[in-house]
Amino acid sequence: MGGGNDIRCGLEPLEFEECIIDSPEFRENLNQHEKELDHTSHQIKRIIKEVKDLMTAAKVLSTRMKQLAILLNDFNFECIGNAQTDDENVICESLKRFCAIIGNIEEEREKMLTLADKHIIESLEEFRKKQIGGVKENKKKFDKKTEKFCQSQERFLNMSTKKPENTLQENSNI
């Protein structure tokens, strides 16, 4: 996995006053915040994928363990004579107990996988979609409105000053 030793000092807060001034420093700070959102979103996607892959592997392991438990439970020596020896009985009984232990472990594993799916994956996906996705969606809307505003400003500035006053006023209200 790697990369876990990154030491981050944190982001500078975005101040409302700086937003109004719109300095290059504010733009850079804003850009850093946007990059961090993208980075966080990507990390959450990777975590979700890894947890899903791990859960798939755990389900395969659980299936195989249950198959082993069935084999252990069904194991029996063929008798030579009328009855099994004491050693054979001990071995068969031990395998049945081991089968029961595996069964208990697999029951708990299923509970854990269900909780992991509900509490880890769903929570991370919801956070990523609602929180990070909401910010990104608002940014898209803002960028679209900004572009529309800039286009109207350009149209207004490109108009001839010889146009009638009411045309200028109409374009200034766009």
Q: Where are the alpha helices (DSSP H) in 75-118?
A: 86-115
What is d(CA 92, CA 94) in angstroms, rounded to the nearest whole number? 5
Q: Find tokens 């069904």 and name the residue.
A: 74
How distant, in Å, are the alpha carbons of 5, 6, 45, 57, 96 from that of 2? 8, 10, 16, 21, 43
CA 65 vs. chain centroid, Å, equals 29
Q: pLDDT per residue over 142-155, tens digit each?
A: 889 989 999 998 88
Q: Model pTM? A: 0.64
Closest of 67, 71, 73 to residue 106, by C-alpha: 67
Q: What are the tens digits of pLDDT across the range 40-88?
A: 999 999 999 999 999 999 999 999 999 999 999 998 877 776 787 888 8
Residue 92 pLDDT more than 60? yes
Q: Quick check: 31 pLDDT over 60?
A: yes
The 10 Å Cβ neighbour count of residue 69 is: 20
